[in-house]
């Protein structure tokens, strides 16, 4: 089996990062960040993951007492939608991950949380800066992937409107109770998270559990084949490599197609692929530094981003570094 180093696993995630400003202009949910360090209580949720489902995004000001007081009612509202194809996501901008984690613990917030320290996501969402003068806002991601404004005065109605046309990929009523944790993971794109439970129940003596596992496996296989077809049809080796690497990461724990395992080994020797990977290896620690609240660390990160743009022209990492610099006003 192809073995991935830790940094390559991180690269596999970052390779899916979109250009936030371009996505915002066409109103799609592709603005959702895919950096794992920007998510609390969840793996990154992508536009692909949400396809056919809905999301309600609650942007909040952490220093606002009124916002803090709202959380019990907000959490209770989200619980009333359990079993429906919608996810409630909290968004905080301008603060470090550590600060947001502390806040989430203090209000016992179980939702997926987007940490937006540089306010990139806030800007990509076309919002005026969240502050004590603009304490909260709501956005909806519709089943077709478009982002729409919600009504913070009537969140239930907003969630109901987002659900219009939404549906599950795998009907939960057809899944046995013991497989529901795997269903939850797989339904929201964490295929690897459901792999062990699916594999174990494929061999179960319980017919209902085995049938449920088979349904989930069939859905996973279909998604894997969709990605594989895109990779095989790519016009250049770097695009193929990116797709194969994403498949190996997202479907870790399942039997991978031979094209993926052999393709990764062969393409890793391609000079263009090596250049792209080397650039990403430089970018990853820089992005981590951007999460810091230390001014000198941030200054150093900006300087390294500029160096990366100059030293690795034409790479995806350099393009992302340039986008980050623009978002930072550089």
Helix (H, G, I), strand (E, B) or coil at 185: helix
Q: Distance between CA 244 and CA 240 in Å, rounded?
A: 6
Residues 26 and 117 in one domain: yes
Q: Are 139 and 190 in a shared domain?
A: no
CATH number at residue 134: 3.40.30.10
The 10s digit of each residue's pLDDT in 179-214 is 999 998 899 888 998 999 999 999 999 999 999 999
> How many domains, in total, are found in the chain?
3
Report if residue 202 sits inside a domain: yes
Rounded (5°) CA angle 146-79-152: 50
- Go through 1-23 and write b for each residue having 16 or more CB atoms within 10 A of its CB, e for each that does not: eeebeeebebbbbbbbbbbbeeb
pLDDT score, position 21:
38
13 within a domain of the structure (yes/no): no
246 and 283 fall within a common domain: no
Q: 249 with 220: CB under 8 angstroms?
A: no
Q: What does the angle CA 62 – CA 66 – CA 68 come to, to the nearest 5 degrees?
A: 50
Q: Is residue 41 domain-resident?
A: yes
Q: What is the pLDDT of residues 144-159, one digit of tens each?
A: 999 999 998 899 999 9
My answer on whether 214 and 87 are in the same domain is no
Asked if the structure places residue 12 within a domain, the reply is no
> Do 67 and 126 fall into the same domain?
yes
Q: Is residue 9 part of a domain?
A: no
What's the predicted TM-score (pTM) here?
0.72
Which range (43-47, 71-75, 154-158, 277-281) has the least confidence? 43-47
Domain boundary among 113, 129, 162: 162
Q: Which of 126, 144, 162 is the last residue of a domain?
A: 162
Q: Do 55 and 113 share a domain, yes or no?
A: yes
Reported as a single tens digit per residue, the pLDDT across 233-245 is: 888 999 999 999 9
Tens digits of residue pLDDT in 16-50: 443 333 344 444 445 788 888 899 998 888 887 88
Domain contains 293: yes
Domain of residue 265 covers 172-269
Q: What is the pLDDT of residue 235?
A: 87
Domain co-membership, 204 together with 237: yes
Residues 74 and 125 reside in one and the same domain:
yes
Helix residue ranges, H only, 39-84: 47-50, 65-79
- Whether residue 321 is predicted with pLDDT greater than 50 in this model: the reply is yes
Residue 2 belongs to some domain of the structure: no
């Amino acid at each position: 089996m192809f073995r991935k180093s830790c940094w390559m696993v991180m690269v596999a995630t970052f390779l899916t990062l979109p250009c936030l400003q371009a996505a915002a202009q066409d109103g799609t949910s592709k603005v959702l960040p895919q950096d794992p360090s920007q998510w609390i209580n969840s793996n990154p949720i992508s536009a692909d993951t949400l396809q056919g489902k809905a999301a309600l995004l609650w942007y909040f000001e952490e220093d606002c007492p009124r916002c803090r007081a709202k959380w019990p009612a907000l959490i209770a509202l989200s619980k009333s939608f359990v079993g429906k194809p919608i996810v409630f996501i909290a968004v905080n901008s301008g603060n470090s991950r550590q600060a947001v984690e502390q806040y989430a613990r203090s209000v016992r917030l179980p939702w997926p949380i987007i940490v937006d320290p540089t306010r990139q996501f806030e800007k990509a969402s076309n919002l005026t800066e969240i502050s004590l003068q603009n304490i909260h806002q709501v956005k909806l991601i519709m089943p077709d992937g478009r982002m729409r404004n919600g009504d913070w005065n009537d969140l239930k109605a907003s969630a109901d409107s987002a659900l219009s046309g939404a549906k599950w990929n795998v009907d939960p009523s057809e899944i046995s109770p013991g497989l529901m944790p795997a269903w939850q993971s797989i339904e929201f794109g964490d295929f690897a998270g459901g792999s062990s439970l699916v594999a174990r129940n494929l061999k179960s003596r319980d017919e209902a559990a085995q049938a449920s596992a088979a349904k989930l496996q069939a859905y996973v296989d279909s998604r894997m084949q969709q990605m594989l077809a895109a990779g095989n049809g790519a016009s250049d080796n770097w695009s193929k490599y990116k797709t194969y690497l994403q498949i190996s990461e997202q479907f870790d724990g399942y039997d991978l197609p031979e094209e993926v395992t052999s393709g990764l080994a062969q393409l890793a020797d391609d000079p263009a692929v090596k250049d792209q990977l080397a650039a990403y290896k430089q970018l990853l620690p820089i992005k981590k530094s951007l999460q810091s609240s230390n001014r000198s660390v941030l200054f150093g990160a900006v300087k390294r981003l500029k160096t990366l743009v100059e030293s690795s022209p034409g790479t995806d990492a350099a393009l992302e570094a340039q986008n980050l610099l623009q978002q930072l006003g550089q």
